[in-house]
Amino acid sequence: MSERDIHPDDVLRELGEYRASIDNLDAAMIRLLAERFRVTLRVGELKHQHKLPPADPAREEHQMRRLKEIARDAGLDPEVVELVLPPLMAEVRRRHRELGKSASGTS
């Protein structure tokens, strides 16, 4: 069967199925990110309570290496980790700093 033998409706149906899968995966990623931020909030509260710094560069570096390896094993270009993880970590650090500001009464 050549490409000319494929009916346009079949292509649109298949495209719709792929897009529905992408939509479901995007929703799952957002839910996972929300859960990640809920957990990192608890981490931030614990750090603030015990006067620990909001950032842990050694932990961040370890995570970067670990997740790049997971990406490689999953057949994903590890550079994607470089695009995704640093902004997440920056947002977590920002939220941790905000915990300190709100607890001290500054804004």
Determine the length of the chain: 107
CA quadruple 78, 80, 81, 84: dihedral, nearest 10: 180
φ/ψ of 42, rounded to 5, equals -65, -40
Q: What is the pTM of this model?
A: 0.79
Of 5-9, 37-41, 78-82, which range is least confident? Answer: 5-9
Given a cut of 80, whether residue 105 has pLDDT beyond it is no
Share of the chain above pLDDT 90, in %: 73
CB 99 within 8 A of CB 51: no
2 contact partners, CB below 8 Å, separation of at least 6: none
Q: pLDDT-based confidence at 17, cuts 50/70/90?
A: very high
54 Cβ partners below 8 Å, 6+ apart? 44, 47, 93, 96, 97, 99, 100
Q: What is the mean pLDDT of residues 79-85?
A: 96
